A and B are shown apart, each in its own frame.
Chain A
Amino acid sequence: MVTTMDTALQEVLKPSDPTDRPKRMALVASKGGLDEVYPVLILASTAAAIGWEVGVFCTFYGLDIVNTKRNKKLKVSAVGNAASPPPMKSIEFRVPTILGILPGMNSVATWMMKSWMKKSKIPSFQEMMDLCLESGVNFYACATTLGVMSVKKEDVIPEASCLGATAFLDFAAGADVALFI
């Protein structure tokens, strides 16, 4: 009789099998260039599609992903990128880095990137964002960044919640995959 009760109690107290829960991915998005946010959105949407729980912590320039005042105008930087592409794929000619400082070069680089993405049928930033939100990706706006960058809470997309590092680490501690992008 006692044995039976013990067994029943053990059954209740047994820790839940970690393989039962969906896998979890914690991403830190720290950059706000158009080319730099795509890896975040691609990984997040893919993980959500295969049933993973995804949390994206948007910090410093990564906050632009969820900042409605800025996320429509994400740009590719023309400077500081040694891998900057040639203007035409057929010509092996790299734009001298110094030309990147000319006015409007960021817009040119952005336009080029967007046209290549369109040609290869990659969804736009907004489409990728919608895909992530529809599939249940959680976006977290870094509370410190809101303060440092003077971003108003109402400028952050309503789906994103405001977190500090501690709350994000608490989430990330249970993650199977954690990446800093």
Chain B
Amino acid sequence: MHIFDYVHTFILGFACMQGGSELTVDVHADKVLDCTGLLCPIPVVKTSKAIREIEIGQILEMIATDPGAPPDMEAWVRQTGHQMVAQTADNDQFRFWFRRTK
């Protein structure tokens, strides 16, 4: 399960570097949170709230345009222990898929 996720993330990350904007991610999201146009700390605060509204094991998709979002969300994953299944960067739009782990 976990190894698959890491491989998945790696492949997606690699695909992002190669393909960039053409990439489509095929992850089923149980909930979508749109943080377009919002700046720090609101995306992180909203993501923390939203992850508690899905069941453990479910996926939350988050969309952000804050240029600080990629490092912030990676840190959020490290601090909260939830899992980032995938992320994409399309010009100024970032999309993240998180799995609730606890």
Contact = CB atoms under 8 A, between A and B. Distances in A.
Given A46-B41, A135-B45, 15 more contacts: A42-B41, A46-B45, A49-B41, A49-B44, A49-B47, A50-B44, A50-B48, A50-B76, A51-B48, A51-B79, A52-B79, A120-B39, A121-B42, A123-B42, A131-B45
- Dominant secondary structure at the A interface: loop
Contacts of A121: 37-39, 42
23 contacts: A23-B79, A42-B40, A42-B41, A45-B41, A45-B45, A46-B41, A46-B44, A49-B44, A49-B45, A49-B47, A49-B49, A50-B76, A50-B79, A51-B48, A51-B79, A51-B80, A52-B79, A120-B39, A121-B38, A121-B39, A121-B42, A123-B42, A135-B45
A122 B39 contact: yes
A50 B47 CA distance: 10
Interface string B34-69: 000111111011011100000000000000000000
A37 to B, nearest CB: 14
Interface in A61-91: none
9 interchain residue pairs of minimum CB distance: A49-B48, A46-B41, A50-B79, A49-B45, A42-B41, A45-B41, A50-B80, A49-B44, A46-B44
Interface of B: 37-42, 44-45, 47-49, 76, 79-80
A26 B44 CA distance: 20
Contacts, number: 33
Nearest to B48: A49
A40 to B, nearest CB: 12
Contacts of B45: 45-46, 49, 131, 135
A126 B55 CA distance: 32
The interface centre, meaning the residue of B42, B44, B47, B48 with most chain A CB atoms within 10 A of its CB, is B42
A42 B43 CA distance: 12
A137 to B, nearest CB: 12
Contacts of A50: 44, 48, 76, 79-80
A42 B62 CA distance: 20
A43 B47 CA distance: 16
A74 B26 CA distance: 48
A46 B48 CA distance: 9
A42 B40 CA distance: 8
